[in-house]
Amino acid sequence: MISEKIQDALNKQLNAEFYSSYFYLSMSAYFESKDLMGFANWFRVQANEEYAHAMKIFDYIYQIGGEVKLMEIKGPKTDWNSFLEVFQDTYEHEQKVTKSINEILDLAYSEKDHATVNFLQWFVSEQVEEEATAQQNLKKMEMIGDSKAALFMLDRELGSRVQSPA
């Protein structure tokens, strides 16, 4: 049986993953409004991936005899001062998610909840990838500066991203 502390922490993370999905969907909508469909696609795929992460936690909570407690999801930011700012926010957001996953992992270790420690290892690996990708995209945006040609090229590159199976 899952401890109440672990259940609460997982439910909080579940909510955070749903928020992440909203956050990235908001970024997708922002880029759609700017007619940058490649960027919009990339963030829509990211939103779907975050939703899948949430559902992974949702299923795990029930698998170990816990109870899912859905919480209110605050509305995400919907406008940015620049395209670069979107990618800065993305990188900062992924760093916050990593910190949150690590805090739950620390709790699971302290509770000697080996099943949750094992479960969270996938998220630890995923966050290494998420942060690296966010940082790479941010660096590309910083290099682009005001170059519309480079922006167009990156839009095409990001537009090629497809949803990978969970």
| Euclidean distance between CA atoms 50 and 13, whole angstroms | 11
Tens-place pLDDT, residues 35-86: 999 999 999 999 999 999 999 999 999 999 999 999 999 999 999 999 999 9
77-121 pLDDT, tens digit per residue, is: 999 999 999 999 999 999 999 999 999 999 999 999 999 999 999
Instruction: Give the DSSP letter string of 32-45.
Output: HHTT-HHHHHHHHH
Residue bearing tokens 């759609």? 32
Predicted structure pTM score: 0.94
Which structural domains are found in the chain, ordered by start?
4-159 (1.20.1260.10)
Report CA 16 to chain centroid distance, whole Å: 9
Place of tokens 């969270």: 120
